[in-house]
Amino acid sequence: MEATAQRDEEARAILRANDRGGYSVPNRRVYPFQWNWDSAFVALGFATFDRDRAWREIETLFAAQWRDGFVPHIVFWQDDPGYFPGPDRWQAGEQVRTSGITQPPVAASIVRTLWNDDPSSRDRLATLFPKLLAWHRWFWRHRDFEDRGVVVTMHPWETGRDNSPEWDVPGAAIDTAGVEPYVRRDTSHLDAAMRPTQLEYDRYVALVDFGRSTGWDHARIAAHSPFRVADIGMSMIFLRANRDLLALAEALGESAAAAEIAGHVARAERGIGWLWDDDAQSWCSRDTITGRPSGFVTSASFLSFWAGLVDPARDAAMLAHFERIGTRVRYLMPSLDPDDPGFQMLRYWRGPVWAVVNYMIGHGLSEAGHVEAGARVLADTTALIARSGFYEAFDPTDGAPTGGDTFSWTAAIWLVRTEQQR
C-alpha cells in the first residue's frame, strides 16, 4: 500500500507539472502542446482529485473547436519553436493556431464518465453537449462519407496509433518527393529505434503539406487524399462515443439530438462488419482506395468490446486471439500481434503496450461479461506502471519502458485504476 500511495502522489505531481493552466501537455520535453485525445484521458486523472480541473481540461480543448465542429489533434496555445511540425507548417486554426487533422473522438465517453461521477455538473455538461454534437456531426459528414458507419482517416496521426503497420501499404501511395528538409524533435530526445522511421515521417509530413495546400478543406481532403483508411480503432471508439453521447442527450432531455445520434449508432451497427477480416478472423483496418483489409491483429482490434458490439462468433474469435496473445507476452495488450513477423517490442505502435488503450480494452471486456479477461488487462496495466513508472508505453515481454517519461495520460490511468481499487 505504501508503494501505491507513493505512485499516487507521483502521478498527481506529473499532472500538476504538465498543467499549463487549463490544459495539459502530454510530456514536458517531447510534446509541448495540447493533444486532443490525451486531454480527454488526462481529465479522468484530474477527476480523482480535482473535478473542476477535469472539466476545464475538456472545456479548454473545445475552446479551439472550428466553426464547422472540427476539433484538431493539436492546439498551439503557446509557441515552442523547436517542435516540428509546428503551427507555421500547419497553417490551420481559427480562434487559435492548431493542426488541421483530428484524433480519436473519445471526449464524449470521458464526459459521460465525468457526468456520471458528478451529476452536480449539469450546467457544464449542458454547455459542452452542443460542442460534442457538432464534432460528431463533423465526423459523420467528413469521415463517414460512404455512409458505412466507420471512420475513414486521412492521416496516420489522426488514428492516435501513428506508425502502426496498418498504414504501411496504404502509405506507399504517398508522394514524398516534394517534402522539404526538416528537423524532428522526437529523435533528438528519444532513441530513434523506438520511433517512426524517416520514410514514415516523410509520408506524415507530405500529408500535412497536402492538407495545407487545400486550405484544410476537409471535403476536398476526403475526396483526394492519397491516404484514406477506415481505421478500426477510430471506428470502434466513435461507435462507443456515439452511444455515450446518446446517453448524455437523453439525460439533458435533448430528444431531437437523441434521435439523430441513435440513427447513426444503428447505421454503424449495420455497417461496421465491413471491417471484419475473415482471413485474419479479426477486426482490421481497411484501405478504402483499394478495398483491401490490413490483415493485422492490433490492440485496436480488441476495441470491439468497448464499442458495445455483440456477435458471438466474432467475439469468440477475438477471445481466441486474446488467449493466444496472452501466452506470448507477459503483459497485455501489445499494440501488434507478437506472432506477426513485424512485431517490435519497443518501436512506437509496433509492439508496446499503451495504458489508455488497455483502459478501453479492459473496461470493454468487463462490460461485455468477459470479466476475467478484462481484469487481466487492467491488472497488467497497473503492474507495468508500478514496475517502470509513468512512461509513454511499455515492452509487453518484460515491462521495460519506452517513449517519453512523466507522461500525463499514463499518470491519469494509474490514478483512475487505483481509485477504482479502493
Q: Show the 3-state SS of 382-404.
A: HHHHHHHCCCCEECCCCCCEECC
**SS3 state at 142:** helix
Average pLDDT for 107-115: 98
Three-state DSSP state, 47: helix
pLDDT of residue 192: 62
| Known catalytic residue at 287 | no
Tell me how far apart the alpha carbons of residues 261 and 137 are, in angstroms, rounded to a whole number: 9
> Is the Cα torsion angle 327, 329, 334, 339 positive or negative in sign?
negative
Other CB atoms within 10 Å distance of the CB of residue 278: 8
The pTM of the whole model exceeds 0.95: yes
Kindly state the DSSP code that residue 226 receives in the 8-state scheme. S
Least confident of 106-115, 160-169, 192-201, 218-227: 192-201
Confidence of residue 190 (pLDDT cuts 50, 70, 90): low
The pLDDT value given to residue 79? 87
CB atoms within 10 A of CB 251: 17
Q: Which three cell numbers stand for residue 351?
A: 509492439
* Residues 319, 373 contacting (CB under 8 angstroms): yes
- Mind listing the pLDDT tens digit for each residue in 308-360? 999 999 999 999 999 999 999 999 999 999 999 999 999 999 999 999 999 99
Per DSSP, the three-state class of 24 is strand
Q: Does domain 2-421 have CATH number 3.60.9.10?
A: no
Question: Has 162 been annotated as catalytic?
Answer: yes
Residue 30's pLDDT is 84
Q: Which residues of 51-68 are buried (b: 16+ CB within 10 A; e: fewer)?
A: bebbbbbbbbbbbbbbee
Over residues 274-300, mean pLDDT: 98
Q: List the beta strands (DSSP E) in 286-370.
A: 286-287
Q: What is the mean pLDDT of the chain?
A: 95
Across the beta sheet with 286-287, the strand order is 152-153, 229-230, 286-287
Average pLDDT over residues 270-281: 98
pLDDT band at 3 (very low <50, low <70, confident <90, very high): confident
Yes or no: say if 114 and 120 are a contact pair by the CB < 8 Å rule.
no
| Burial degree of 208 (CB within 10 A; 0-12, 13-18, 19+) | buried
Give the residue from 38, 2, 150, 131 showing the smallest Cα distance to 404.
38
pLDDT tens readout for residues 36-66: 999 999 999 999 999 999 999 999 999 999 9
Cis peptide before 360, with omega less than 30 degrees from 0?
A: no
Asked if the model's pLDDT at residue 1 lies above 80, the reply is: no
Residue 113 to residue 160: CA distance in whole angstroms: 21
Q: What is the mean pLDDT of residues 91-96?
A: 96
Closest-CA residue to 166 (of 339, 328, 335): 335
| CA distances in angstroms from 253 to 33, 122, 250, 337, listed in the order given | 36, 12, 5, 44
Choose, from 158, 254, 392, 395, the residue flagged as catalytic. Answer: 392
Asked if residue 421 has pLDDT above 80, the reply is no
Q: Which of 336, 376, 381, 149 is nearest to 261 (CA)?
A: 149
pLDDT on residue 153: 98
Helix (H, G, I), strand (E, B) or coil at 173: coil
pLDDT above 70 (res 189): no
Q: Average pLDDT in the 274-282 region?
A: 98
Contact of 125 with 252, CB cutoff 8 Å: yes
Contacting residues for 210 by C-beta, under 8 A, at least 6 apart: 221, 225, 226
Distance, first Cα to last Cα, the chain: 11
Catalytic residue chosen out of the listed positions 8, 162, 209, 340: 162
Q: Which region among 2-6, 36-40, 368-372, 404-408 has the lowest average model confidence (pLDDT)?
A: 2-6
Q: What's the CA gap between 153 and 207, in Å, rounded?
A: 12
What is the rounded average pLDDT of the residues 361-389?
98
